[in-house]
Structure 1
Amino acid sequence: MKRIISGVVMLIAIGFLACNNTKAKEEKAENIQIQKVNDMNNLISIVEISVTDFARAVKFYQTVLGIAIEEMEMDGNQMGVLPNDEGTVNVFLVKGNDCKPTTDGAVLYLNAGNDLQPMLDKVEQNGGQVIVPKTEISPEMGYFALFIDTEGNKLGLHSAQ
C-alpha cells in the first residue's frame, strides 16, 4: 500500500513539475517576444506617399516642409527620400505603377515642430488643400491639421503648440 501511495504521490509530483515547467517556458517565450518589440525604436519603419506627378510632389513637400528631398530610382519607381535621423521612420515619395494617391485609409501625420501653422499656411499656397484647420487635441497632446497634397493624398500635421 505504501508503494502505491508513494507511486501516486510521485506521479502527481512529476505532473505538477511538468505543468510548471511548460508554464515557465511559455512565460519565458512571452517575455522574449515582448523584449523584441520593446527593442525596436519605432513600430513603423517605412512610409510611402504615393504620387502621380513626381516633380510637382517633390516641389510641394520641399516647400511646405522646408526640406531637401533626395531623388532616386529603384526598380522602375521614382522615389524621393525625406530626411530623417538614424533609427526613425523612413518616409518616401513614390511614383510607380502600383502607387495610387488616396484620401481613404490610414493618415500619416508629419511632425511640424513646435507650431504647425507656418507649414499649414504653405499648403494652399503650393497647390494643396486644407481640410481641417489647426485644431487642439488636448493641452498634453498638442494640435493637428489635415490637408490634401497636390497628388490627392490626405495627410496631417502635428505640433506641440
Structure 2
Amino acid sequence: MATGDFCHIQFSSTDLAKTKAFFGEIFGWTFQDIPGFETYGMFQTPSGLGGGIDVSDRADPPSDQGPILHIEVDDIDATLAKVIEMGGKTVAPKMKISDEFGHAALFLDNVGNRFGLWSA
C-alpha cells in the first residue's frame, strides 16, 4: 500500500460472531482472531484491504452517523436482498449517480452500522 491509501477500517459491533457471519456471507470477507484480543476481530476483504471489528467496552456503539464506507459489488439489487436476508436493512435504495460513475445504495448491517454499496 502507498502512503495515503486506505490501510485499515475499524467499526463497532455488539455481536462479533453475528457481524462476521454477515460480512463473510454477503461479501466474502475472511477473519482472523488475535490471541489476547477476544473483543476485536480482524478482517480482510477479497482485494486485501483489512480492518477490525471492535466489540469492547471502549468501542463506540454501532452507529449510522459515522463515515460511509462503500463496498464495491457487481449487483446492488441482489446484494441489498442478501443484506435484508441476513438481518440488515436498506437505508437508501439503489440510485444512479451517473453513466460514468454508476450506482450507489446505503444499508445498515445487522447491528446498526451504516455502509454504502457501489457498482460502476
TM-score of the two chains, using structure 1 as the length reference = 0.65
Distance 1:44 1:68, change over 3 A: closer
Instruction: Within 5 Å, give how 1:9-158 maps onto structure 2.
Output: 40=2, 42-65=4-27, 67-73=28-34, 76=37, 77-85=39-47, 89-99=49-59, 100-112=61-73, 114-158=74-118
Give CA-to-partner distance per residue, 1:31-72, whole Å, 9 cap, x none. xxxxxxxx926532110121110111111111221x152231
Q: Which is richer in strand? A: 2
Taking a change above 3 Å as real, the CA distance of residues 115 and 145 of structure 1, as seen in their structure-2 partners, is same
Moved over 6 A (4+): none
Corresponding pairs, count: 118
Partner of 1:19: none
CA shift, 1:75, in A, is 5.0
Distance in 2 (alpha carbons) for counterparts of 1:141 and 1:68: 24
Secondary structure of the corresponding residue to residue 127 of structure 1: coil
What one-letter code is carried by the residue in structure 1 that aligns with 2:95? Answer: T
Structure 1 distance, partners of 2:72, 2:23, is: 13
- Taking the aligned partners of 1:132 and 1:58, their CA distance within structure 2 comes to 23
Aligned counterparts of 1:134 and 1:85: Cα–Cα separation in 2: 23
Q: Aligned equivalents of 2:51 and 2:80: distance in 1?
A: 19
Gaps of 5+ in 2: none
Q: Which runs of 5+ in 1 are unaligned?
A: 1-38
Q: Report the Cα offset of residue 158 of structure 1.
A: 0.5
2:42–2:50 CA contact under 8 A, matched in 1: no
Higher relative contact order (CA 8 A, sep 6+): 2
Give the C-alpha shift of residue 121 in structure 1: 1.1
Q: Percent identity?
A: 25
User: What SS does the aligned partner of 1:135 have?
Assistant: strand
